[in-house]
């Protein structure tokens, strides 16, 4: 069933269509929620709450992006909310201009090591790193989502990369 037909069926409260929509996107969205929260339970809660919001607001989906991208935005926002409610807020680092990019091509690691290193980053570092490097968000979008300045977002990314480089080069 196409996304458009699925959307219409979900809006009509068709439980099978809702289940199909959930099944279509749950794995990718859970992975994203887990990467942001670094906690299995919080990721599950974020996923559940995000899909409740998806079904609640599906009628307002305008089709300006793909359905998956729209759901992804809802999942990201919910995962960030969960982390903010649970964790002690991180202290933003001072604003600064990033000085040079890291050479990530030089690092030859298995995905599991990299994933674990990312999950071990402090919340602020991890969230910004995931949103910029894996999800392609801009610093302006992240600043709006997290309630920080763009400079702080850039700073968090810079320090996340430095910490990852330090951890991964000692392996």
pLDDT tens for 45-91 read 999 999 999 999 999 999 889 999 999 999 999 999 998 887 544 44
Q: What percent of the chain has pLDDT over 90?
A: 63
Domain ranges of the chain: 3-86, 104-169
- Contact indicator for 153, 142 with CB cutoff of 8 Å: yes
Q: pTM for this structure?
A: 0.71
Q: Does domain 3-86 have CATH number 3.40.640.10?
A: no
- Contact indicator for 142, 83 with CB cutoff of 8 Å: no
Over residues 96-102, the mean pLDDT reads 46
Angle subtended by helix axes 67-86 and 15-37, to nearest 10? 50
Q: pLDDT band at 113, cuts 50/70/90?
A: confident
The whole-number pLDDT of residue 171 equals 61
Q: Does domain 104-169 have CATH number 1.10.10.10?
A: yes
Cα separations (Å) of 129 from 36, 57, 87, 154? 9, 28, 18, 9
């Amino acid at each position: 069933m196409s996304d458009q037909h699925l959307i219409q069926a979900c809006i009509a409260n068709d439980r099978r269509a809702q289940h199909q929509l959930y099944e279509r996107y749950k794995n990718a969205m859970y992975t994203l929620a887990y990467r942001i929260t670094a906690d299995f339970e919080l990721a599950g809660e974020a996923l559940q709450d995000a899909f409740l919001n998806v079904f609640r607001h599906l009628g307002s989906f305008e089709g300006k992006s793909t359905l998956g991208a729209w759901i992804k935005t809802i999942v990201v926002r919910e995962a960030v909310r969960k982390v903010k409610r649970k964790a002690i807020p991180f202290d933003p680092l001072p604003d600064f201009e990033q000085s040079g990019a890291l050479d990530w091509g030089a690092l030859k690691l298995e995905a599991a090591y990299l994933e674990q290193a990312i999950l071990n980053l402090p919340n602020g570092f991890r969230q910004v790193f995931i949103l910029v490097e894996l999800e392609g968000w801009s610093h302006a979008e992240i600043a709006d989502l997290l309630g920080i300045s763009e400079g702080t977002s850039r700073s968090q990314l810079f320090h996340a990369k430095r910490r990852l480089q330090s951890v991964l080069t000692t392996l």
